[in-house]
Structure 1
Amino acid sequence: MRCLIMLVAALTLGGCTVQPAAPPPTDDTLYRTLGGQPGIERIVEGLLINIADDERIVSHFVDADIDRLFEKLVEQICVESGGPCEYTGDSMEDSHAGMDITEGDFNALVENLITAMTEEGVPVTAQNRLLKRLAPMRESIIYR
């Protein structure tokens, strides 16, 4: 749990350094630990439910095409976890342009993702591995 808290703090408090996106993993261990495609779909569904119930950030999603958002989040997590997917969505910069996502908004989304993974029984070590893969995207998302 301590490692998860440290990683969340690094993600949410701005402790991440700007890094280029790492190439997708060649090992599918994380993908399998997340439950493969069905597990990732459940995690993303849980994330979207959590967002819908989160007054802090739900306003950012009012006009979103939820079906497309679901599809692209599944693709993204699949790729970042070493799965056999291809991400076909827009860049993080383009998809968040004009949204003015704050650090607080980003933090709330990370909290909702952690909750969704926990509810799916994803081990903390696997949660940390996924969060570490997603962390470099932070700078492409906030204040756009």
Structure 2
Amino acid sequence: MKTLAIAALVALSSLATFNTHAQTAAPAAVAKNDALYQALGGKPGLQALMDVFVAGLKADKRIGEQFKDTKSSFLASQLVDQVCMVTGGPCKYDGADMKTAHADMGITRANFNALVEVLQVSMDARNIPFSTQNQLLALLAPMHRDIVTAK
């Protein structure tokens, strides 16, 4: 199993789903150039990926309930902006920082891992190369510290 990928995906999903509760951002490390952003297909590629990802989150039996009241288009848009920014793209993510957004949600490591798995499946469905997936997950993985708050 892609352990690093799982951690990063969970962070990403959790971020996008629950960021409606805050106003300021403090995302993961930002890429120093836009090579990863370009490898993911720029903004159109990210939008396509996040559309698949959000649909997968909502359909997932393990964590779908957490996303049932989240507007899919809003969540996807927030995720696109965040991933665009952290991968060196021109977007500005203005959602909540992860710690604030997830403080009272009781997200477990199992929840986080399920989210990452959905992201991996989504990237596979979009034919994103494994090395590109790993680069993205490596940027997103540190978010788990602020997202996982329950055992």
**TM-score surpassing 0.5?**
yes
Cα distance in 1, alignment partners of residues 122 and 8 from structure 2: 17
Q: Does 1:5 align with 2:11?
A: no
For residue 72 of structure 1, report the CA deviation from its aligned partner: 1.0
For residue 5 of structure 1, report the CA deviation from its aligned partner: 2.4
Q: AA paired with 1:131?
A: L
Q: Which has the higher contact order (CA 8 A, sep 6+)?
A: 2
> Aligned pair in 2 of structure 1 residues 50, 137: CA closer, same or farther (>3 Å)?
same
Cα distance in 2, alignment partners of residues 94 and 118 from structure 1: 31
User: Partner of 2:90: helix, strand, or coil?
Assistant: coil
Cα distance in 2, alignment partners of residues 138 and 43 from structure 1: 21
1:11-50 Cα distance to aligned partner (Å, 9 max, x none): 69xxxxxxx9664222111101101001000111111111
TM superposition score normalised by structure 1: 0.83
For residue 63 of structure 1, report the CA deviation from its aligned partner: 2.3
Q: What 5-or-longer segments of structure 1 have no aligned partner?
A: 13-19
Report if aligned partners of 1:21, 1:136 keep a CA contact under 8 Å in 2.
no
Match among 58, 63, 67 for residue 57 of structure 1: 63
- The number of residues matched between the two structures is 134
> Aligned pair in 2 of structure 1 residues 88, 128: CA closer, same or farther (>3 Å)?
same
Report if aligned partners of 1:103, 1:142 keep a CA contact under 8 Å in 2.
yes
Query: Which structure: larger Rg?
Result: 1
Q: Does 1:30 align with 2:36?
A: yes
4+ residue segments displaced more than 4 Å: 9-12, 20-23
Q: What 5-or-longer segments of structure 2 have no aligned partner?
A: 10-25
